[in-house]
Copies of this chain bind each other. A is one copy, B any other.
Amino acid sequence: MEDVARHAGVALGTVSHVLNHPHKVAPATLERVRRSIDALGFVPDRRARALAAGTSNVIGFVVVDLSNSFFLDMARGAEQEAQRHGLNVLLANSDVQPEKELVYMHLFDEEHVAGILLAPLPTNADDVLRAGRWRRDVVVLNTVPGDPDSCAVTADNEIGGYLAARHLIDTGRRHLAFVGGPFTLSPVSDRHRGVERAVAESNGAVRLTTIKTSNVQAADGRKAGRQLAALPADGRPDGIVAAADLVAVGVVQAFLADGGPRVPDDVSVIGYDNNRAAWDSEIPLSTLAQPGEEMGREATRLLIEEIRHPAHHEHQRVHLEPTLIIRQSSTR
B-binding residues in A (CB < 8 A): 41, 43-48, 50-51, 58, 60, 66-67, 69, 72, 75-76, 79, 88-93, 95, 103-104, 107, 109-112, 132-133, 135, 217-218, 222, 246, 249-250, 253, 256-257, 276-277, 279-280, 282
Contacts and interface: CB of A to CB of B under 8 A. Distances in A.
B110 A46 contact: yes
A205 B44 CA distance: 64
Contact of A91 (B92, B135, B282): B92
Contact of A46 (B43, B112, B256): B112
17 contacts: A46-B107, A46-B111, A51-B51, A58-B107, A66-B72, A66-B91, A67-B69, A75-B93, A79-B95, A89-B92, A90-B107, A91-B92, A218-B279, A249-B280, A256-B256, A256-B257, A277-B277
Contacts of A67: 69, 72
A249 B280 CA distance: 9
Contacts of A277: 276-277, 280
Q: Oligomeric state, in number of copies?
A: 2
A88 B103 CA distance: 9
A184 to B, nearest CB: 23
